[in-house]
Amino acid sequence: MTRSLPGSTADGSRQAYLMGAGLIGMGALHFAVPKGFDSIIPDEIPADKRALTYASGVAELLIGAGLLVPHTRRLSALAAIALFVAVYPANVNTLRVVKDQPLGYRIAAVARLPLQVPLITTAWRIYRRVGRKADR
């Protein structure tokens, strides 16, 4: 017996739409206010921070759009997992960036880290559910 999340669907479409919309929104923010994203990219990454901000924004837009389309949903779910793993160092680096900021910023930075786990597991569920539906 498998357990499902409240509001989930057998084919993962609800989760895919929610995740897709979230990624599209965040991807757009990379272009609207790139400075905040630039600031959390670790200095140890030897690349132009603005270029990385825009590249991750494009990735989020494309993956988000792919999750909205049933035909590309399965591959996009895998791409979402890769994206969430790839941006984790920037999320960890946020702890360094906000160390001198007010307590609220520091709490938000710490609270954000474990949120990657449900994002990754939800993307994995989407991947698996689309695969099961396609196999029938």
Residue 1 maps to a domain: no
Q: Is residue 6 part of a domain?
A: no
Let me know if residue 104 belongs to a domain: yes
Question: What are the pLDDT tens digits along the chain (136 aa)?
Answer: 455 544 556 667 899 999 999 999 999 999 999 998 998 888 888 999 999 999 999 999 999 999 999 999 999 999 999 999 998 888 888 888 888 888 988 898 899 899 999 999 999 999 999 876 544 4
Q: Do the domain assignments include residue 7?
A: no
Residue 73 has which token pair?
């949903």
pTM of the model as a whole: 0.82
**8 A C-beta contact, residue 19 and residue 122:** yes
Domains in the chain, number: 1
What's 71's DSSP letter?
G
Domain ranges, residue 99: 13-135
